[in-house]
Amino acid sequence: MAAKQGARVRGVVGQVRWGYYDAARLEGYTAQRDPKTQRWSLRARVVPGSANAFNMRQRPLRFIAPYVIPAKAGKPELKRQWEWLVEDADITAGVLTARLEPLGSF
Amino acid sequence: MSRFVKPDTSVLTLKNGDQLIIKKRLNRGERAAMFARMRAPGAGLELDRVRMGIAKVVAYLLDWVLTEDQVPIRDLSDDERETILNGMDPEDFQECWDAIDAHELKVQEERDAEKKLRDGATASPAISPSPGTTAGAMSGSTSSTPTSTTSSLTT
């Protein structure tokens, strides 16, 4: 049996979305998987004024973390994004904390 | 039937197989923004007929899959999408506008039909029956707050 591993994803730009609506824009986030429980959690700074309280209360919410695969060996740059389902989100003093369920990379 | 618009999407397929991914319905804010975009600058409340098409397409369009072009529009601002749409061939733009117009009409008709059905199914008397006419009226003191609904509405 493979050992359970933790994981951590850090980034600068992210967002929480309800469908195609922005629920909050994030300016610095850490998503990490607990090595014991294998549960993902999120801690992020919310861009001031960007959180929409109504949209934040809707479900399903997705946390989106875009990333870029640089151009290499003649292949063009690729823009991709990690996505998680957001559970139990809370914004206090401009900091978003949430539990996450991974959805994958798109 | 919720009073709030959920962020559902619809996919419209154009003649050559190109696809438009659009909002199924606009909410109040989006509709207000669309009408604001239809107004010529400084023209007050008067709508500019030339701007009606571009305003509607900008309001609805989220993304597209174009077979001949690679022009990403996802997550762009309304102004950025308008700039890109203004670069389209006029006939191709008209096809997008017509498709979105037809979609809007279809969704409105569906919603009207749903409303009719709902209003018909849940029609309730304008005035509640007076206590004297209520079957099984209680004697003695009565509660001023009804704690359950009667089944007299079912026919």
Residue reference for tokens 């850090």:
A10
Give domain status of residue B127, yes or no.
no
pLDDT at B155 over 50: no
- Which A residues in the span 7-26 are in contact with B, Cβ-Cβ below 8 Å? 18-21
Average pLDDT of the residues in A56-67: 96
d(CA A19, CA B10): 12
Domain-located, residue B151:
no
CA distance A47 to A43: 13
| Region of poorest pLDDT, from A32-46, B35-49, B104-118, B136-150 | B136-150
A59, B60, B118 from B82: Cα distances, Å: 30, 12, 38
In this predicted structure, the answer to whether residue B129 has a pLDDT above a threshold of 70 is no
pLDDT digits (tens, 9 = 90+) for B30-53: 999 999 999 987 778 888 888 999
Number of domains in chain B: 1
Give mean pLDDT, residues A63-89: 92
Instruction: Give residues with Cβ within 8 angstroms of A30, minimum separation 6.
Output: A8, A9, A10, A42, A43, A44
* Residue A76, preceding peptide bond in cis (omega within 30° of 0): no
Q: pLDDT digit string (tens) for A79-104? A: 899 999 999 999 999 999 999 998 98
Q: Are A85 and A61 in contact (CB under 8 A)?
A: yes
Q: Give the tokens for residue B13.
A: 């397929």
8 A C-beta contact, residue A29 and residue A11 = yes
Give a yes or no: residue A2 inside a domain.
Answer: no
User: CA of A21: which chain B residue's CA is closest?
Assistant: B7
3-state helix, strand, coil in chain B (%, to 5): 45, 10, 45
Query: How far B147 CA lies from chain A's nearest CA (Å)?
Result: 30
The CA dihedral of A87, A91, A94, A100, to the nearest 10 degrees, is -10
Question: Residue B72's closest chain A neighbor by CA?
Answer: A79
> Within a domain: residue B150?
no
**Residue A35 forms part of a structural domain:** yes
- Give ipTM to 2 decimals: 0.79
* Domain count for chain A: 1
Instruction: List chain A residues with CB under 8 Å of B62.
Output: 20
* Domain encompassing residue A82: 7-105
pLDDT of residue B138: 46
Alpha carbons A17 and A58: distance in angstroms, whole number: 10
Which pTM value belongs to this model?
0.77
Strand order across the beta sheet in which B19-23 lies = B9-13, B19-23, B61-65
pLDDT range class, residue B134, cuts 50, 70, 90 = very low
Say if B55 falls within a structural domain. Answer: yes
Nearest CA to CA, how far is B16 from chain A (Å)? 26
Residue A1 falls inside a structural domain: no
d(CA A61, CA B109): 30
pLDDT at A35: 93
Q: A27-59 burial, b for 16+ CB within 10 Å, e for fewer?
A: eebebbbeeeeeebbbebbbbeeebbeebbebe
Is residue B135 predicted with pLDDT exceeding 80? Answer: no
Mean pLDDT value of segment B106-130: 78
pLDDT for the residue numbered B36 = 93
Q: What is the pLDDT of residue A87?
A: 92
**How many A/B residue pairs have CB atoms within 8 Å?**
10
- Residue B72 within any structural domain of the chain: yes
Q: Is residue B30 part of a domain?
A: yes
pLDDT, residue B1, reads 77
Considering only CA atoms, give the Rg of chain B: 24
Has residue A37 been placed in a domain? yes
Å between B7 CA and nearest CA of chain A:
5
The DSSP output letter for B26 is: -
Q: Residue B141 falls within a domain, yes or no? A: no
Contacts of B23 in chain A (CB under 8 A): 20
Q: Which residue of A has its CA nearest to B8?
A: A19
Please give the share of chain A, as a percent, with pLDDT higher than 90: 83
- A3-17 in b/e burial notation, b at 16+ Cβ within 10 A? eeeeeebebeebbbb
**Residue A47 belongs to some domain of the structure:** yes
B37 lies in which domain range? 9-119
